[in-house]
Structure formats: C-alpha cells, structure tokens
A and B are shown apart, each in its own frame.
Chain A
Amino acid sequence: MSQESLPTVHLGLVDTSLLIIYLIFVVGIGWILKKKMTTSSDFFQSGRSIPAWITGLAFLSANLGAQEVIGMGASGAKYGILTAHFYWIGAIPAMVFVAVFMMPFYYGSKARSVPEYLSMRYDEKTRAFNAFSFAIMTLFSSGISLFAMAKLLVLLLGWTFPEAMLFSGAFVLAYIYLGGLTSAIYNEVLQFFLIVFGFLPLVILGLTDAGGWSGLKAKLDLAVVQHNAAVVAKAPGAGTQIYEPGSFYHLWQGLGHASTNLLGVDWFGLVMGLGFVLSFGYWCADFLVVQRAMAAKSMSAARRTPLVAAVPKMLFPFLVILPGMLAMGLTAAGGANGFHLPKLADGTYDYNNAAPLMLIHYFPTGLLGLGMTALVASFMSGMAGNVTAFNTVFTVDIYESFIRPGQSDKHYLVVGKLATVGGILASVLAAILAAKFNNIMDLLQLVFAFVNAPLFATFLLGMFWKRTTGHGAFWGLLTGTVAAAVHHGLTQPVGETDPIKGGWLGAVLHHYPSDMAQNFYTAIFAWSFCFLTTIAISLATKRTKSDQELTGLVYSLTPKPVETEKNWLLRPAVLGTIIIVAALVLNYIFR
C-alpha cells in the first residue's frame, strides 16, 4: 500500500476501542491455546485435530494478506471484472483439484510439510531446493504484510514507523509463540469474518451511490470513453489500447486478442498461464495454504478443506474486486458523494489505494473502526500465516534434516519456537528493506515467480507417474526456473524499459502487450521446460524408490480413499463438481 494520496484518518474513541477489543481477542486466543502446545506436532500441525470448516476458512484466509485485499481492489479499478479470472478460472479449479486428487497423498503420507512430501517422493536435494526457496520467500511475504500493517498503524494512530513495526512484530510473535499453528489458524478464521463484515457495507454503500449494477455499468462505460479519448489525444491514430464499451464488466469480451481487453492478454495465455500453471502451482503446491489442510483432523476433513474454502472464494470478487470497480466508475461519472480516485504525479490514477480510499470516504466514525480493524487483521494474519509456514519448514526440512537430525521432540519444539522469533526478526528486516528500496521487493517477487512457476509440473508428474525419479524432479525444477528467468530476460512488455520488467539479457526477442501477458507466458515456458526435462531425465535415470516405498505417494500405487461420508452430497468428488459448475455459471453470467 503506497501512501501518496491517502488522507489523514481521524479515528474516534469508538473506532479505536473496536481495534483494541479485537487485539485483546487475538492474544486471548493464543493464551487459551498455550496449554495445548506440548509436542512439536501440536505446534506445527495443530496435532492434526481441527475440523474442516475451520481449516477451510483458514486455507482461504492465509492468502488474504496485504497483497490480496489491497491488490485485488487495485486490479478491480484498473482491469475491472477481468480481475475475477484470478478466482473463477484461477483459484477455484485448482482448489477442487487439490481436494479431490492431491489431498489423499498429502494427508495420507503424514508429511508435515510440502518439502517433506518431496523428500518422501523424490530425494533430499529436491526437498532442499523447495525448502530453501520457500523459506526465503515466506519471510519476504511476511515482511510485505508487516510493512503494510506498520504503515496503516502510522496513518491511523499517529505512531512513528519504527514504533508501529516493533508493536506489530511483537504482537504477531506473541500469539504464534503461545499458540503455534492453531493460534494462527483460529485468528485467520476470525480475520475472514472481519474482512466479510468490514467490506460488505462498502460494497452496499458503493453500489447504492452508483445506482446499482446497471448504474455502475453505465459509469464504467464512461470510464472507457474517457480512457479512449485520452489515448487518442496522446497518440492520434495509434489504434492501440482502444477498448469497446463493456470492457470493464465483461469477463470474456475482447479476449480473442491481447490488444482488445484491459488485461492485455489473449485467452490462451490467460487459461494456460493463469488458470493452469500459476493457480495450480499456488493452491496445490504452496505450503502456506497446504499446511492448513494438513492440520485437519481426518482425511475427509483434509479433503474437504479446499472445498470449504472454494465456496466463499467464489464470492470474494464481489467483496474485494467490486470496490475497485466502483471506485473507477464513480471517478469517471461522479457519485452523490463526490468520491474520486486521485491521480499520481505521472498522471495515472492511484489504483493501489482504491480500496482503503473508498473505506475512508464512505465509512463514518464507528464503521470506520470496523473497516480499519479488518485491514489490520488482514495484514496481521498475512504475516502470521507466513511465519507459521516458515517455522515449520525451517524446523522440519532444514534443521531436522540437514543440521541436527535425531533429536528429541522437545528439542524440535524449542527450535520451532526460536524459528518463530527468528522469522519475525527477519520479517522486520525485510520490511525495513521494503521501506528503503521499493525495487528490492519487485526483484524478489520476480525471482520467486521463477522458482514457483515450474513447481506444479514436478508435483503432477510425481503424483501420477511412478517412473519420475529424484534426478528428473531436481533438474526439471532447475531447468524450469532458468527457463523462466531467460524468457523474462529476452522479452519485454510494450513501452517498458526498466530491466525489472524484462529484457535484461540484452536482446529483446518479443514484446508482450502487457506485463500481465509477459508473466503468464513466463509461467507457461517455465512449466513446459520443467515438465519435459523431468520426463527426459527420469527416463534416462534409474528409479531409486521401489513401488513399495511409493505407496501412498503416487496415484496408481495408492488404494483409493474409502468414502466414510454417509451424506453423498458432502463427498469431495460431488462437492467439487458442484463448485466447478457454479464457477462456470458465474463465467457465463458475466461473460
């Protein structure tokens, strides 16, 4: 969240008291859970004892950090409803896939982390590759959320930035140190309800002001007209980036070609890059979310976790993207309340602050406190989710497997708690770096995108082809990562010259119409290289794991999970089908 155009916020007594009451509840939950934290399994896996509705909502909320809540509002203002593709062809199919096909291996293998699954399925070097890249990545994500939270507290409470950082870090440390993963998960569920109750009135007020959905559509068409006029004024006769009316509120309009839709992506790049590679990579292989399902109390609860998450996830565009669209429409056409997005120094709108600006503009004292508490909760849980994933991967996959194996459970519990302290300190450093050099964060996110993009190929082959070997997996991952970097280095979005946007290898072989298109195709390249290299090297190397060792880890060697659910409607395959159909219906309605 950049602060350029945020006005000072004056919180009343009632607003501050809501925030303080929430903070008391958070620490209180950690305190009550303290008694239950006696083994490392309690601390890292919640003792595998949590019901599906809780792990499901946590599965969803672990991802609702600063980037998501603020970022989706920003994208809603910039790209309109096309942002919902991140949900309706992105997250939803991936969540159903992980529930129906992958959870039997994850949960059934009793692995405590995604890297540990990789060591069971492949070997130690594949595990190390994933563990180290994931550990560093989560610390920086945690730092980004901490940075956002500290900035918000500076804005709301008038603290200095260092004070706000220290308070936020110490606070998150307290409740994870006390209650481990359970504390993080419980607070993520609390945060889920706060986001819903904090953002829903914004949508209601915004829609009322815009004259309902049809009023909003008319206003967004005006935004398109204004945009086109500005493009023509800048470069007469250029004919690029001229959009049809309806561009802001039709999901599939103009997707035949990259130059006729706001995202600047063609349908193939969108479906393959976002829908397949990026979304499946994130929701199926990122330990931050998978850890929540692994904490479920039974196999069927674990399989239901992503499905429970998918239902609200499907509706979240109306909660987090719609405010951005409303901000854009009201800016173009004007509402009774005079809301408008301010412009930045370079003449573009301040998209990044669309959601917080709307909150500040529409919420009176009282409700404002609720909205701000929801934002604080989001940033805090975003940080806590990353820290709990970090302390587990550090303890299980780095400390226990490479530094000091064979210690007592008590020993690892202590290490886990110390890793939590270390993780928080590293997040503080990351947040300071983010405050100093804006580019460092962009650069790191780019590198992590390179590491993450090929990962789903490794999982897909590992779970469905028993012939895949450890060497194949490791070299496939490495090749995929390098392929992503090389592709990024040789291409550029049109009109960009900054090396962070690509083209840093000297020659630019291809210009993409937008950075979104470049990202999606980078992912497609990375995935394909990883997929093909893994197959080739697997065929050229000997299997090191026997069929027996792979039982429970590979689809063809695992007995199908016995369905204990008496109510057939709640069975994962049935529920998953219903959710997919619902997502298709949403795609059709907003086509």
Chain B
Amino acid sequence: MDLRLPIGGLFSIFGVILTLYGLVSDKSIYAKSLGININLDWGLVMLVFGAIMLILSVVNKEQDFLANEVQSE
C-alpha cells in the first residue's frame, strides 16, 4: 500500500470539514483565536496538503520519492 494515499485521504477529508465549518460557523467562536477564522484558513492549508499527497500517490506510483537506489536484498 502506498502510504501517501491514506495520508492524502485523511487530510483532504479534514481540510474539507474544517473549510466548510469555517464558512458556516458563527463568528463569535473566533474570539478565542484572536478574531482569525482559523478553521477556514487551516482547513484550506490541510486540503492543499492532502490533495498534493493524493496527486503524488497517483502520478509517481510505487516510487520512494527520497530514494532512487537499486533495490537490494
């Protein structure tokens, strides 16, 4: 199994949930976070990260992106 798939999946889902929640939630809850709609902002960041992981797992299949050594043993 390519681990980038579940990582991408989990963070995409988290990203979507937080982004949507950031759009519909009442502004008063952001008094805690200094008036910043952190759910919306951070949800988008996670969505982008999740999407990149998903794309990578599809585009360069079965490749360890840190290694191009000959597989031994």
Contacts and interface: CB of A to CB of B under 8 A. Distances in A.
A208 B32 CA distance: 13
Given A337-B32, A364-B30, A25 B6 contact: yes
Q: Tell me whether chain A's interface is mostly helix, strand or loop, or mixed.
A: helix
Contacts of B38: 201, 205, 363-364, 366-367
A190 B13 CA distance: 14
A189 B73 contact: no
B7 to A, nearest CB: 6
Given A201-B38, A367-B39, A54 B73 contact: no
A32 B9 CA distance: 15
Contacts of B21: 14, 365-366
A227 interface: no
Given A21-B14, A564-B69, A336 B1 contact: no
Interface in A113-128: none
A52 B66 CA distance: 7
B72 interface: yes
Contact of B65 (A21, A53, A366, A564): A53
B59 interface: no
Interface string A349-366: 000000000000111111
Interface stretch (A168-176, A292-300, A515-523): A292-300
A186 B10 CA distance: 13
Interface string A329-373: 000000011000000000000000000000001111111001000
Interface in A155-204: 186, 189-190, 193, 197, 201
A369 to B, nearest CB: 9
Contacts of B73: 48, 297-299
Interface in B1-51: 1, 3, 6-7, 9-11, 13-14, 17-18, 21-22, 25, 29-30, 32-34, 36, 38-39, 42-43, 45-46, 49
Interface string A26-56: 0011001100000000000000100111101
Bin chain A's interface residue count. 35 or more
Contacts, number: 122
Contact of A197 (B11, B13, B68, B70): B11
A337 to B, nearest CB: 6
A370 B10 contact: no
A64 interface: no
Given A193-B11, A364-B32, A367-B33, A29 B69 contact: no
Interface residues of B, number: 37
A26 to B, nearest CB: 9
Among B13, B33, B42, B45, chain A packs the most CB atoms within 10 A around the CB of B33
A584 to B, nearest CB: 24
A197 B42 CA distance: 9
Given A190-B10, A193-B7, A205-B38, A364 B71 contact: no
A301 B69 contact: yes
Contact of B34 (A193, A208, A365, A567): A208
A412 interface: no
B33 A364 contact: yes
Contacts of A193: 7, 11, 49
Contact of B42 (A190, A308, A367): A367
B7 A190 contact: yes
Given A189-B3, A297-B71, A205 B13 contact: no
A288 to B, nearest CB: 20
Interface string A546-557: 000000000000
A133 interface: no
Given A301-B69, A367-B38, A370-B18, A33 B7 contact: no
B11 A564 contact: no
A474 B2 CA distance: 43
A530 B32 CA distance: 53
Nearest to A361: B32
B67 A300 contact: yes
11 contacts: A18-B14, A25-B9, A25-B10, A32-B1, A52-B66, A53-B64, A189-B7, A197-B49, A336-B34, A365-B25, A370-B14
Given A18-B17, A193-B11, A208-B34, 7 more contacts: A14-B21, A53-B65, A197-B46, A197-B49, A201-B38, A299-B73, A365-B25
Interface of B: 1, 3, 6-7, 9-11, 13-14, 17-18, 21-22, 25, 29-30, 32-34, 36, 38-39, 42-43, 45-46, 49, 64-73
Q: Which 6 A-B pairs have the closest CB atoms?
A: A51-B64, A366-B39, A364-B29, A53-B66, A298-B72, A366-B21
